[in-house]
Chain A
Amino acid sequence: MIYLDYSATTPVNEEVLKSFNKVVLEYPANANSLHKLGRESFHLMEASAKQIANLLNVLEKEVVFTSGASEANNLAIIGTVLKYQNRGKHIITTKLEHSSVLDTIKYLEKFGYEVDYLELMENGQVSIADLKKKIRKDTVLVSINHVNSEIGIIQDINKIGKLLKEYPKIIFHVDGTQAVGKIKVNLDYVDLYSFSSHKIYGLNGVGCLIVKQNISLDAIIHGGKSQSIYRSGTPTHALYASFAKALKLALENLEEKYDYVFKLNQKIRKDLETIEEVHINSPIDSIPHILNISLDGIKSETMLHALAESNIYVSTKTACANDASLSLSVLELTKNEDYAKRSLRISLSFLTTTEEIDCFLKVFKAKIKELSFRKGE
């Protein structure tokens, strides 16, 4: 099997699973129970949050565990607009966002919220000038992803954050799901930051929203304080501990892993550039872990299944998007509907080997020939 869909989810690191098992067996009590056993679970939960905080250079109390990045995004957006209703009803975002951001904001439109989408520059980064232009007196929230999940465009969140610091009433939310564990992240200029465990070789079902200490949100799951005041429910402290472990492992040798993936990416790019039917959508300065391409005359789904026959797994677009026919991100960047309909995402990891890449390229080229031939018939 050649797995090239690491941006959809990653295989669980065995060490992470070991942590999870150990906690489940050895810390069985509810972390909110007042007895001795409960306190032991509680301390472990605290230690997990502290480790994540230290790794990301934030405070322990700023770590809010959620069920995943989608919930973190929902909490960030809905929690902010509910809390700061008096500040206005205007939201700024981009069309490059994950559906858990875009759909949440769309949902808010039903309640009278107005949304502006930022213009992109040629490399896919948001235009700061446009952002300045679109900020209004009643803007409450700016939500921009750190790394786009389909194309891999990296946004300069420091630059955006620094600008937004001049507007202290605007909350700046960043969806960092595709950034954490791949590139170095600096959270000095953001107010809210979401990310998830299963994208960094951790378990599915746990995520995190960093909520800076000067920000407060309305809770979206009510029922009393749990790990945080924003989300009720029995704390899943075994998942939290496994998440803390996963993050620690993911950040080890970050630069080396990045350089390695960068080389793999260059190798594929170089090869694909020679194929007439391939158009590379990911700008050159995108994250190397994601390479988005469009195929001339071949439906992306056809190619996806053709590759799967040879046990090679890629994606057509993010697995989460609900409209299967078109990639909004690709459309937004290329303004070409054809590209948007025929896009494929190849996503890489430091676990990917050069042999796997060689094999993928070989099969891919053969499939192109095969499918183009059919097209010609």
Chain B
Amino acid sequence: MNRVILIKYGELTTKKGNRKLFINTLYNNILKKLNGLEVNIFKDMSRMYIEYDNKDEELILKKIGQIFGIHAFEVAYKEESNLDSLKRAIKELLEINFDNQKKYTFKVETKRSDKSFSNTSLECNNIFGSYILKEFPNLSVNVHQYDILVNVEIRHGYSYIYLNEYKGLGGYPVGSLGKALLMLSGGIDSPVAGYLAMKRGIKLDLVYFEAIPHTSIEARNKVIELAKKLVVYGNEMKLIIVPFTKLQEEIYKNVDGNYSITIMRRMMYRIMEKLVKRFKGLAIVNGESIGQVASQTLTSMNVINNVTNVPIIRPVACFDKLEIIDISKKIATYDISILPYEDCCTIFVPKHPIINPNLEHTLEMEKRINYEDLIKEILNNLKVITISNLDDDKYKDIL
């Protein structure tokens, strides 16, 4: 029997007008993700089918499980649409997957999109059901509580039979809803925020504010490691490294200590706004979580956000820390995030950062710094690294 991976789209099929765009984006994402493997991918408006070399099955299933926009996927057997070959396939499938000494309950679910097929879905359920009962004396029907669900999809030309369903990641295909820039610090929250933004179809570029020599090159490498974990879900992204040292030093020299964080965050947003334009993004994404630190109180957010009109998406704004940690463990960023390197938000932290900053006072203090020139200089000295999804053969001489 020919095996194919059958992909069911998620929420995207409900978006009538953009359906084609979603499907094409998903198709391209899958192609890129499976780059290097011998596969044929076919798509129609409700399903995608991947033909593959059986030896790659495990790897492909793993990769498919990392793509947003897929509701569910299954390893299905492709058969000609006639009752006899379908029966044969069902028999084989059950024999391979279940111990026929044990008792199981089952249900057959037929979906017939080829209306020219000789029997209706209901008739097919009966035909296949009674066939299974005859061939497997230990199996019995229970349509409400079943151990085995035999799915038969009758489509034009070919039919597909499958038992198990793998749950996909859901969401929208990355890129189908435009691009945003993620402020990636090295902490636990921002990678999770990035993951959640991608889940809603946003393609990301990453921005890292660096304050060498106050922060180390290891801190940058840590962010690159985080980026590599995120790129698993996004094929390719740019990592924009912002040389923040001078501006940050100016802030600490010239403003009252308790306002330094407020003003630093405002400067970051000013820079982000420029970067969004330059890298053709539509929004800023970050890992701010309400109340977590002084700059993330609503008052602080209000004063800080005041510098820009670009939408700021805060996917984890309303998450508890433990909820964020759960996701970070799931996406394997947690162990990297907790590596103890300083980042530019943890150096120069005042003893008592203000939690209720005043806008007028903030504006007053900002006048002490010639930030516009400094920002221009920063924008002329960006460093951009491409983070790609391709597993590097770094260790091929060793492993």
A284 to B152, CA, bound (A): 44
Contact partner of B398 (CB less than 8 A), chosen from A36, A39, A57, A241, is: A241
A-contact bits for B35-61, CB 8 A (1 contact / 0 none)? 000000000000000000000001000
User: Does A22 contact B397, Cβ atoms closer than 8 Å?
Assistant: yes
Contact partner of A39 (CB less than 8 A), chosen from B218, B394, B397, is: B218
Interface size on B, residues (CB 8 A): 12
A19 to B339, CA, bound (A): 28
With contact pairs A36-B218, A39-B221 given, residues A248 and B58 touching in the complex (Cβ less than 8 Å): no
A47 at the A/B interface (Cβ < 8 Å)?
yes
B-contact bits for A31-57, CB 8 A (1 contact / 0 none)? 000111001000010011001000001
A241 to B218, CA, bound (A): 23
Q: Which residue of chain A lies nearest to B99 when distances are taken between CB atoms in the complex?
A: A162
Closest chain B CB from A165 CB (angstroms): 12
B341 at the A/B interface (Cβ < 8 Å)?
yes
With a CB–CB cut-off of 8 A, which chain A residues contact B395? 44, 47, 241
User: Does B399 contact A36, Cβ atoms closer than 8 Å?
Assistant: no
Closest chain A CB from B336 CB (angstroms): 10
Closest chain B CB from A188 CB (angstroms): 13
A298 at the A/B interface (Cβ < 8 Å)?
no
User: Does A34 contact B398, Cβ atoms closer than 8 Å?
Assistant: no
With contact pairs A34-B339, A34-B340, A57-B58 given, residues A47 and B399 touching in the complex (Cβ less than 8 Å): yes
With contact pairs A34-B339, A34-B340, A57-B58 given, residues A241 and B399 touching in the complex (Cβ less than 8 Å): yes
A199 at the A/B interface (Cβ < 8 Å)?
no
A57 to B398, CA, bound (A): 21
A23 at the A/B interface (Cβ < 8 Å)?
yes
User: Does B221 contact A51, Cβ atoms closer than 8 Å?
Assistant: no
With a CB–CB cut-off of 8 A, which chain B residues contact A34? 218, 339-341
With a CB–CB cut-off of 8 A, which chain A residues contact B399? 19, 47-48, 51, 241, 244-245, 248
A-contact bits for B89-133, CB 8 A (1 contact / 0 none)? 000000000000000000000000000000000000000000000
Interface residues of B in 382-396 (CB under 8 A from A): 394-395
Contact-residue size bin, chain A (C-beta under 8 Å from the other chain)? 10 to 19
Contact partner of B221 (CB less than 8 A), chosen from A23, A36, A248, is: A36
With a CB–CB cut-off of 8 A, which chain A residues contact B398? 19, 22-23, 44, 241, 245
B307 at the A/B interface (Cβ < 8 Å)?
no
Interface residues of B in 357-371 (CB under 8 A from A): none
Which of B218, B339, B340, B395 has most chain A Cβ within 10 Å? B395
A39 to B397, CA, bound (A): 19
A245 to B395, CA, bound (A): 11
With a CB–CB cut-off of 8 A, which chain B residues contact A19? 397-399
Interface residues of B in 322-376 (CB under 8 A from A): 339-341
Closest chain A CB from B84 CB (angstroms): 33
With a CB–CB cut-off of 8 A, which chain A residues contact B58? 57
With a CB–CB cut-off of 8 A, which chain A residues contact B221? 36, 39
Q: Which residue of chain A lies nearest to B222 when distances are taken between CB atoms in the complex?
A: A39
B21 at the A/B interface (Cβ < 8 Å)?
no
A196 to B217, CA, bound (A): 38
Q: Which residue of chain B lies nearest to A26 when distances are taken between CB atoms in the complex?
A: B398
Interface residues of B in 169-227 (CB under 8 A from A): 217-218, 221
With a CB–CB cut-off of 8 A, which chain A residues contact B341? 34
A241 to B399, CA, bound (A): 6
With a CB–CB cut-off of 8 A, which chain B residues contact A44? 395, 398
Q: Which residue of chain B lies nearest to A57 when distances are taken between CB atoms in the complex?
A: B58
Which of B58, B218, B339, B398 has most chain A Cβ within 10 Å? B398
Closest chain B CB from A310 CB (angstroms): 40
B-contact bits for A118-151, CB 8 A (1 contact / 0 none)? 0000000000000000000000000000000000
Give me 9 A-to-B residue pairs in the complex whose CB atoms sit less than 8 angstroms apart, sorted by A's number: A19-B399, A34-B218, A39-B221, A47-B395, A47-B399, A241-B398, A245-B398, A245-B399, A248-B399
List 8 additional contacts besides A23-B398, A39-B221, A245-B399; criterion CB under 8 Å.
A19-B397, A22-B398, A34-B218, A34-B341, A47-B394, A47-B399, A57-B58, A241-B399
A residues near B (Cβ < 8 Å) are 19, 22-23, 34-36, 39, 44, 47-48, 51, 57, 241, 244-245, 248
B residues near A (Cβ < 8 Å) are 58, 217-218, 221, 339-341, 394-395, 397-399
Closest 8 CB pairs of A and B: A19-B398, A244-B399, A47-B395, A51-B399, A241-B398, A22-B398, A245-B399, A36-B218
